[in-house]
Amino acid sequence: MNYSSLSLSDMNKENIPVANTQCTTSRVTRARAKALGTSGVLLLPPLHPVVKVKQEHKQILQPKTKRASSDNNKSASTDVVPIVQSKRRAVLKEITNNPFNHSSIKLTDGIRLQISNEVKRCTSKKNDRVMMAVAVASSVCVGPQGKTTTEALNDESIIDIDSKHKGPQMCSLYATEVYSNLRTAELKWRHSVDYMKTVQLEITQEMRSILIDWLVEVCEEYGLASETFYLTVALIDHYLSKKNIGKRRLQLVGITSMLIASKYEEISAPRVEEFCFITDSTYTKGEVLEMEQEILDVISFQLSLPTTKKFLRRFLLAAQSSYKAPIIELEYLANYLAELTLIEYSFLKFLPSLIAASAVFLAKWTLDHDEYPWNGTLEHYTGYKASELEITVLALQDLQLNNAAPLHAIRQKYKQQKYKSVATLTSRKPVKLVL
């Protein structure tokens, strides 16, 4: 029989996989096929080429199946490449501000021009809003002398303390407006200054001082930041000015306030069990959590309270601007004086910003008697004249010179060498203020 004249249907019936000249049913190897090809014998194509392509294409689209042999891979690469390439996603190229520079989307010139004009119009509006906000922030913020920020900075006696700080975390562009809002907030969220007489029946001023002195040691024990300590005292005063409690619950209010402040200020706050342990298990975890909920309800979850520390950071920056190199003792001494006021109940009548300005004034006077501690830059950024600090500075100096105070946790803290032992520094001359 001549296989060259055999029809496809007959070959299917006979189930002959490939043609040969010897009419054999053995499998045709590569060597034999090559020999047959060189001998001039015509080899027939595969029986079902369409089905073969579909099966190989299906195998490629299913990556979890067993990998085909090298022969199948070669055939798949030659037969199925057009099908696979038609479904392949375009490679994402470099992204630019123009969304149509490297896009595979076909747009007409009219549509592209319309979209480009729309993008430019939106960008122009955004830039206009930013410039307007900057202009408002620089013109609305008014200093203590009634000058705007722009007018004040034009004065040669006032140094721009924000021009050197270009980092985004310093927020130098919005610093003036932020501290202007803090000055408003300290009046809005001010607690009662005589709650020991009007609200509390069992708690006394001495009990409050002992509690805060003990909390200083707790902060040192757990390595908490000074911002946490200031916020803790602020939460205690806000709660006690609105809620009457007994003697037994005073320490519970203290550790719970520190727990809340730690959650707000610290990266890794101590656990509730640690605050229970520090009180020698006087209070249970349930009591602390119940008090936490009660304090937050009383203060209406207002945790962004303007404390002395927030103003002190800004005022110290203004004070350091008059020196060629920053003086680290000035920062430590001002922080020491400001923390001394937290223990004294009598300092509740002063605003946090006033205490911060007075601490900077007294710290500069203690370190240097030759130069008057107040200047135009400090007057502009603090908002206080030297005459307005007289009462607070004199009271703060008496507190500084009172070495016989029974509560000495803060003094012992700032006697350490890491704080340059600023607690041992005192003013050799009395404070003189120019009225």
- In SS3 terms, 232-294 reads as HHHHHHHHHCCCCCCCCCHHHHHHHHHHHHHHHHCCCCCCHHHHHHHCCCCCCHHHHHHHHHH
More confident residue, 44 or 433: 433
Burial, 82: exposed, middle or buried (Cβ in 10 Å; 0-12, 13-18, 19+)? exposed
Coil vs helix vs strand at 166? coil
d(CA 406, CA 40) in angstroms, rounded, equals 116
Tell me what pLDDT residue 324 has.
Answer: 81
Query: CB–CB of 400/427 below 8 Å?
Result: yes
Tell me the average pLDDT across 359-371. 91
Sign of CA dihedral 156, 159, 164, 165: negative
Q: pLDDT band at residue 421, thresholds of 50, 70 and 90?
A: very high
- For 38-68, give one letter per residue: b (16+ CB within 10 A) or e: eeeeeeeeeeeeeeebeebeebbeeeeeeee
Share of the chain above pLDDT 70, in %: 63
Query: CB–CB of 157/375 below 8 Å?
Result: yes
More confident residue, 9 or 172: 172
Helices (H) and strands (E) in the chain, counts: 20, 0
d(CA 334, CA 346) in angstroms, rounded, equals 19
More confident residue, 101 or 172: 172
Alpha carbon 144 to chain centroid, angstroms:
32
Residue 84 clears pLDDT 50, i.e. is over it: no
Burial, 153: exposed, middle or buried (Cβ in 10 Å; 0-12, 13-18, 19+)? middle
d(CA 300, CA 277) in angstroms, rounded, equals 28
Tell me what pLDDT residue 81 has.
Answer: 45
Tell me the average pLDDT across 20-48. 51
Domains, the chain, ordered by start: 1-47 (no CATH), 190-298 (1.10.472.10), 308-424 (1.10.472.10)
Could you tell me which residues come within 8 angstroms of residue 171 by beta carbon, excluding any fewer than 6 positions away?
178
